[in-house]
Structures are given as C-alpha cells and as structure tokens.
Amino acid sequence: MNESTRLDVVGRPARRKDAGEKVRGKAGYTTDISLPGMLHAKVLRSAIAHARLAGIDASAARELPGVHAVLTRDEIGDDIAPTYGYFIKDQPIVALDKVRYEGDTVAAVAAETEAIADAALRLIEVEYEELPPVASIEDALSDGAAELFEEAPMGIVPAYGAGASAELRPRSNVCYRFNYETGSPDVFETCDHVFEDTFHFSRMQHFHLEPFAAVAQWLDGDRIQVSTSCQNPFALRKELGRVFKLPENNISVRVPFVGGGFGSKNNCKAEPIAILLARMTGRPVRFALTHDENFLTNTQHAAILKLKTGVMKDGTLVARDSEIFLDSGAYSDASPLVAEKAGYRIPGPYRYRHIRTSCYCVMTNTAPAGPFRGFGGTQTSWACESQMDMIAGRLGIDPLEFRMKNLIDLGEPFVPGESGMDSDLREGLELVAREIGYRERKRNPLPNRGVGLALGFKDGGGVNKPAQARVKVSTFGDIFLHCGTVEIGQGAHSALAAVVAEILGAPAGRVRYMPINTDHTPFDQGTNASSAISVMGQAVERAARSLRAQVLDFAADRLGAEPQDLDLEDWHIRKGNEALPLAPMIMGYFGGTGWEFTADGFHKAETDHAAPLETQCVFWELGWGAADIEVDPDTGLITVHKLVVSGDAGQAINPLVCRGQDEGAAVMGLGQALFEEMVYDGTRLMNGDALAYRVPMAQDLPQEFVSITQEQGHGPGPFGAKGMGEGGMLPVAPAIANALFDATGVRVAALPLSPPRVKAALEKNS
C-alpha cells in the first residue's frame, strides 16, 4: 500500500461485514440469549396518567405457580438508589410515590415464562389516588397546573463556556433550562424588520425493530453481568454502578448486535428491572419489551419553537431571539442535553450579530422523551428553515438567494469560540437546488406543484466525547478491532474495519470487529451524535497507525533496515522488490507461540473554555434537501414527486453505507413530514402500536428519490471523513413545507403535513 497515492479499501463500495450473519439469521441479538435457568420478566404499567400510589398488593401474584419474584416499591431497599436519569435522577425503577404517565412502571414479575409473568401482573392490585393530568406543554406551563414533581429530584448542571448557562428547575414543571447569548439584543433596534413566528413540532417514536431488551445475571452475589440492546454501554455501566452501589469492575455490560436505536437505547431502559429481578431470584432474567411497550418507554420531543428574527431589507440577517419548549414527558431522560443542543442550533448555519436562545424542558404526563436521530436538530431545522423561506417571501427575495447571502463560509465559526464550518454550505445547497431544477421551476411554475429547499444543521460528534480504540494483530496477520462503537445497523463496524484494513495494508476481511464488553472493550462514551467515524474513527485510525509503525519498527530491527524504507502489504514486509512474510520473523523473535502486536488510539476534542459548550464541536453535520411536490387542493394530500437529499461524508469510507444512512434518515424525515406522529388524546396515546402508528413503507417513497453523497474532504475523521446518519433527516420536513408554500402560498407551521392539516390551511387561506 502506498497510502499517499492510492486507497485500496477506503472509498470502495463493499459488502457490510455483518451482512452475512444478518442474512443467515446468525447475528446474535440480546433476545437470542438463552441461559440455563433463565426467567422472563414483564412489567405492570399504569393505566392512569397521574396519581399518587396509595398501595400495592402483590400477594396473589407471588403465589402463582411459576412466579419467582414480584418487584414493587416495597422490595426497594436502602442498598440501591431507586431512581436513575442522565442528569436528573428522577425516573424510578418501579413507581415509588406516584405514577406519572399511562404506561409508567408500577411492578415487575419474573416467572418461568412470559405468559406466567403476564398472568401474574393481572393479579397485582394497585390503589391509586388520581391527580389532575398534565397533557401538553401549554397545560404544564399554565397557572395552577398540577406538578409532576413536588420536589426537584437531584440533578447536575454541566459546566458551560462563553455565553451559555443552564438552570435546574427554573419553574414548576420545567426540569431544565438552557440559555445562550452572544452579541447584544440592541441590534434588533437597527433592523429593518423583525419577524416573530411560532412553529409546532410533532412527536415520533424511534420505531427500532428490536425492542428494548436485557438479560441479566448476578455472579457470586456481587457481580452483575448484563447483555443489553444499548447504545452507550460505558455510561450505562456507570449509572448501574450508582443504582446498585457497586464498583464498575463488578459490572460487565455486554452489547450484542442492536436492531436499531436511533438514540433511544441510551442509559437505563430494560436493565435495572432485569438486574433487580435477577438479584431477587438468583437466576438469570430476560426482560424483553414488546413493540407496543417501546412507545411507552422513550420518544422524540414534541416542541413549540418561537423565533424572533431581525433582518435588513437587503436580506442580511442580524439577530435572532428564540424560545424553545420541549415536551420532555414524565421523566427527564436526556432532555437537558437535547435542550442544550436545540438551544445551541436554533440559529441555523447563518451569520448573525446577535443570538439569544432559551430552551425549556417541560414535564408532562406522557411517555418520557429522549435522544432521537437529529437530537434537537430536527426541531430546530424545522422552525429555522421554515422561517427562512417565510422571511424571504416577506422580503421578496428568493429563498435560495436569501440563504446563499447569509450562510457562513467554509472555515467560519458558527458562533464565537466555536470551530470553523467544515463544509462548503453553498456548494451543497447549489447541488440540491440544481438537482431539483429549482431555478427552472421558479421561472416556470406548474399548477399545484412547488419546490422547496432546506438545510439541516447540527454540531456532530457529541460534546467532550473521549474515545479509545485498540487494534491487535496476531502472528499470521489476523486483525482484531476492539472499540465500543455499537453496530446498531448503521454500518459502523464495516467502516471502522475498513479504516484499519487500509492503514495496515490488509484486505477488509482480515479485520474482525470484536464483541463489546465493558470489562475489556476500550472506553467510549456512546454510539450517538454521529460520532462513530468522527470521534471513534480518529481513535481507530491512531491505533492502526501506531500498530503499523510498531510492526515496521519491529521489521526494520529484524532486517537491519530503516522503517521508512519498508511498507506493509498483506502481512508481508515490502522492502524494495521483496515481500517478506512477517509470521516467520515474529516467531523467530518471539518464539513459536508467536505474538500479538497491540496498539491503542485515543481521541478527545480538546476542552476550550471560550467555546459555548466548553468544547469545540467535532464536526458539522449537514443535510441538504430539496423537494418537488404536488398538492391535491381537494384533499390536502401531498405527493412528493422528487426528493433530493445530500450529506457531506468528507470522504466516504464505504459509499454504500453512507448512502444507506442518508437515505434511511431521509425516509424517517419523510415520515415525520407527512404522516408519522404519536397522537395523544389528552394524556392517552391513541396509536401506540405498529399498525396504528404508521412508518413509511416502500410505497411511500417519492417517485424520484435521489441521494448524493458529497465528499468535500474537510472532515476530522480518517482520510477526511465526517459522521453520517442524522443529516439526511433534518431538511426533509422544512423542504416539503417550503415546497407546499411554493405550490399554494400557504404556510403550515406544524407537523405532520397531513391531508387534514393541509386542507384546513388551504381552506383558511382561500
């Protein structure tokens, strides 16, 4: 390999490493685990949204044959911390004093079979004292609203840098508020126009095909072994250590293949109950939720976004004040972090002289909301990109030109102290505009047809994320890649293995991605924030380069040569025209048992107190989108004739995987744009099952669906790569809403753009 001139593995479309196993049904998921003596768990869920728990009688359930344990608040002793949460420890393993949403966990049973456990649940008698329910953001903030928490649960506020701050429980039913300010609000007075608009954002469920699941067992009474469908095993281990009051070296978190996560599978989900029941029974316990229970466990944040934007008549953006209200549901989960991200991103990738933003996490008696693909960026892109078109329209400027005028340049920081933009935003926007035929259609509009553009935007790679990776190679050149990035379907294993193969001059097939177990897998904060390539990729790259150097140094020493005169090629040392096999060299030096070369790589974004989030963002994740739609004026039905999405992979490690990520994200965005939504009647979820909750299917795809993987080459990852997988989600809904406006002159500021909502808007406008 001569890496300066040629890439042999990276950049080539290749079959995914997990394809064979998955196609043959051999890929092991958590629910495939079967252990001798394993019991099955089920939980009793509250049918009431908000109530004080007056009493529980589980005696009949305990006596049912085949039942091994019933867990209620009465079984929670001082030996554990009974609540968990990312920042605010407000979610109980089972309800303690109250239930806070329909579906809240009241009790759990471990039994010989799931059927017995289900039967036992029906024998548990619960006495509730009902309280007034809080159904929505508006309800929660209204005067005299019932309080979900009478006392603020313990929580922490992260350190923030210049201009950013946060408060815990700034007011009743608000668990967290994030604030950011730069420049001076005085500049609003200098603006030619100030536009204030409000946007509503709907709530989706992640709809991962593999539900939440965990299999737990205790070893020798003081060690936990848990296999789980989880995106962040190390964070989970730390939280389990806190809950179960155990050192981290007594907790082994293992993660098999994960059947989709989209953000939901972070932190405690099925694990605490499985672990506690395993301790109570002395048996392994499997707790696998049903699909319907997923809807009751974690969701996206519905939101209200209020934007006040000051602009000059020539279209120059000047100032933006924003207020965002996130519906956090009944427990805080990752809401504070989503609030931070939404609050930070709401200006979009445009140049302002002043920004002020507040983002509130509002508690309601609905299912808890947590991380979701886009992580606050879906909400903000929806509002920001809708308002961009609205302002352009009001100023009589073309929306494309309006964006082009205000977009920040390549290398320009988003806000003071922040890292420079690492994509040419205009290049991407021009690309999708041209692909959709934007200018031609603006010149020659078609009846009931419209085109719209949007630009999704988020800081990617996570905050402050450290990652470590390890590569080892045995005597005959068999490569082991150890890192904590979970394969959740995104193809990260293939991409990271390709990086290693490229650097070590090996075919990708020589690299095996090793199973994840916190006991020995190098530390990683979690598989989220599109960090696999951008953060872990850097750690993997360094590990592989360090290993390569180690091998070349070893060979140079053996051969009496200089390392720079040698190259590594398919586990041979290339020296001039010779290709010398490494295995005999290794056994000659290390003995017949051979050896393993091992190297670690580390990456962490440096702390920077001048940056608002105290760390400059790892990379900027963009999603450019364009839609060409037709509206049926009689029904309000939108037909998407063509959808264009484009992300910037920096350098595609595996183009097929990149494209898959952008397209998958775009289809998820399409669902949210047009029909996918968790529908509540008050506090009751009306469509919490797969049939009623409608995800996009093949027939929902646009007639023409184009995805373009840009490779602008500015990413921080290996070979210039950037993270993928969330950007494609972001521009779809605003692009379609903008196209709807283009087609009809009607602005719909709430999602989804369903026929009734569109029809009502058309009627109101007519």
Q: Which residues bind a copy of itself (CB under 8 A)?
A: 20-21, 24, 26, 28, 34-36, 86-87, 156, 158-159, 219-221, 232, 234-235, 238, 241, 247-250, 463-466, 468, 472, 474-476, 478-480, 482, 510, 512, 514-515, 517, 519-523, 525-526, 588-596, 598, 600, 604, 607
Which SS3 state, helix, strand or coil, does residue 378 take?
helix
State the minimum distance, in angstroms, from the CB of residue 57 to a copy of itself.
Answer: 36
Distance CA 212, CA 290 (A): 8
Residue with tokens 């109570």: 280
- Closer CB to a copy of itself, residue 464 or residue 687? 464
How far apart are CB 461 and a copy of itself at their closest, in Å? 12
Q: How far is the CB of 552 from a copy of itself (least distance, A)?
A: 17
Q: Could you tell me the smallest distance in angstroms from the CB atom of residue 607 to a copy of itself? A: 6
Residue closer to a copy of itself, measured from CB, 198 or 474: 474
Residues near 763 by Cβ (< 8 Å), separated by ≥ 6? Answer: none
Cβ proximity to a copy of itself: between 416 and 584 the closer is 584
Residue 223 CB, shortest distance to a copy of itself, in Å, is: 9
Measured distance CA(523)–CA(525) in Å, rounded: 7
* Minimum distance of a copy of itself from residue 711's CB (angstroms): 30
Using the minimum distance from each CB to a copy of itself, give the nearer residue, 95 or 215: 215
| Angstrom distances, CA of residue 665 to CA of 80, 669, 703, 731 | 39, 6, 17, 10
CA distances in angstroms from 382 to 304, 330, 638, 658, listed in the order given: 11, 24, 17, 23
**For a copy of itself, the closer CB: 123 or 471:** 471
Cα separation, 205 vs 296, whole angstroms = 9
| SS3 sequence of 130-183 | ECCCCCCHHHHHCCCCCCCCCCCCCECCCCCCCCEEEEEEEECCEEEEEEEEEC
d(CA 75, CA 689): 31
Nearer to a copy of itself, 177 or 472 (CB): 472
Q: In angstroms, what is the minimal distance from the CB of 266 to a copy of itself? A: 10
Residue whose CB is less far from a copy of itself, 86 or 350:
86
Select 341 or 403, whichever has its Cβ closest to a copy of itself. 341
Phi, psi torsion values for 406, nearest 5 degrees:
-105, -10
Q: What would the DSSP string read from start to end of 247-259?
A: -GGGEEEEE-B-S
> For the chain, what's the residue count?
766
Task: Tell me which residue of 171, 90, 230 sits closest to 518, measured CA to CA.
Answer: 230
C-alpha–C-alpha distance, residues 300 and 427, integer Å? 31
In the chain the first and final C-alpha atoms are separated, in Å, by 66
Beta carbon of residue 253, minimum distance to a copy of itself (angstroms, whole number)? 12
Q: Could you say which DSSP state residue 539 is in? A: H
Please, which residues bridge with residue 726 across strands?
none
Dist. CA 608–CA 606, nearest whole Å: 6
How many CB atoms within 10 Å of residue 764? 8
Separation CA 704–CA 574 (nearest Å): 49
**Complex with a copy of itself: residue 252 or 365, whichever CB lies closer:** 252
Residue with tokens 């098999």: 256
Phi, psi (rounded to 5 degrees) for 125: -105, 125
Q: Do 176 and 87 touch, CB atoms closer than 8 A?
A: yes
Closest by CA to 626, choosing from 749, 385, 455, is 455
221's CB contacts (< 8 A; 6+ apart) are none
- Residue 472 vs 714, nearer CB to a copy of itself: 472
Nearer residue to a copy of itself within complex by CB, 245 or 313: 245
d(CA 529, CA 263): 9
| Vertex 369 angle, CA 753 and 159, to 5° | 120
Q: Cβ neighbours of residue 143 under 8 Å, at least 6 residues apart? A: none
Minimum Å gap between C-beta 462 and a copy of itself is 9
Minimum distance, C-beta of residue 529 to a copy of itself, in the bound complex (Å): 12
Q: CB of residue 480 vs a copy of itself: minimum separation in angstroms? A: 5
Report the C-alpha gap between 582 and 568 in whole angstroms: 9
Q: Which is nearer to a copy of itself, 147 or 570 (CB)?
A: 570
Reference 355, options 387, 326, 317; nearest CA is: 317
> Which C-beta is closer to a copy of itself: that of 420 or that of 515?
515
Q: Which two tokens stand for residue 447?
A: 């009846």
Give me the least distance between CB of 147 and a copy of itself, in Å please: 27
- Tell me the closest approach of the beta carbon of residue 593 to a copy of itself, in angstroms: 4
Least Å distance, CB 513 to a copy of itself, is 10
Strand order in the sheet with 466-474: 511-513, 479-483, 466-474, 596-604
Nearer to a copy of itself among residue 416 and residue 594 (C-beta): 594
* Structural contact between residues 321 and 356, judged by C-beta atoms closer than 8 angstroms: yes
Q: For a copy of itself, which is the closer residue by CB, 215 or 644? A: 215
Give min distance, CB of 484 to a copy of itself, in A. Answer: 10
CB of 762 to a copy of itself, least distance (A): 48
- How far, in Å, CA of 401 to CA of 314, rounded? 11
Q: Which is nearer to a copy of itself, 484 or 491 (CB)?
A: 484
Nearest CA among 300, 298, 245, 225 for reference residue 267? 298
Structure tokens of 400?
A: 């494309």
Nearer to a copy of itself, 444 or 593 (CB): 593
CB of residue 214 vs a copy of itself: minimum separation in angstroms? 18
DSSP tally for the chain: helices H, then strands E: 19, 32
